[in-house]
Amino acid sequence: MNDSVVRVALVLPDLLGTYGDFGNAVVLEKRMAWRGIRAEIVPVNFGQPVPDSCDIYVVGGGEDTAQTLAVRHLRDHPGMQRAAARGAVVLGVCAGIQIFGESFTRADQVTHAGLGLLDSTSHAGGSRAIGEVIATPADGLFDGLLTGFENHQGRTVLGPSARPLAHVKVGTGNDGSVEGAVQGRILCTYLHGPVLPRNPALADLLIEWATGLKLRPLDLPAVTQLRSERAKAAGV
């Protein structure tokens, strides 16, 4: 991979950037750079075509109106969907997990068609899920606990083609039992923080998927301290 550049598409940060989820793209670029892997972030704003040539696509969170605008834009500019079909890595956070599914129903009870990247449906729950989340990765997907901060009203039901990212110990996630979704190289979560700075093993998993390399863990004491503090704050 040293002779090529891993391109990380930061998709619609002007619409889906409410919770600082652009930091996920920064973490991917930095963790590759620290290992000598050339990488660059490709911002794709509202009104711009979405390239189908990137290696990783990062989609963040946003409110209902932004979410509806985003799904329309991505349907009109389906570069990410074409890339996913050829095996590119896609990370969807909060709004991402909802718009990637077959459909999502907003708090106003209006149902919108999703992008069909994920075998799931989402709807507004009766109460808003806010606070720290601690979850155990499903199927040994990566080592350690999954941690993050959630702030959403959505509830997501997975179909048979998707599997959970993790099983919830503290918090709500999709439904109080499972958190996130994985389908092929599409990975979704409700967690902010942003999620990749707080979960370096998850970031490295996405990089491994994109590059085909087996990565050694990086020794970053500040990250270890952050994870310990957040787990303690959640009572774990």
Residue 78's identity, in one-letter code, is P
**Sequential pLDDT tens for the chain (236 residues):** 446 999 999 999 999 988 899 999 999 999 999 999 999 999 999 999 999 999 999 999 998 899 999 999 999 999 999 999 999 999 999 999 999 999 999 888 899 999 999 999 999 988 999 999 999 999 999 999 999 999 999 999 999 999 999 999 999 999 999 999 999 999 999 999 899 999 999 999 999 999 999 999 898 888 888 888 888 887 77
Residue of 181, 212, 187, 190 lying closest to 4 (CA atoms): 212
Residue-level pLDDT at 3: 61
pLDDT for position 1 = 46
The CA distance from 3 to 111, in Å, is 46
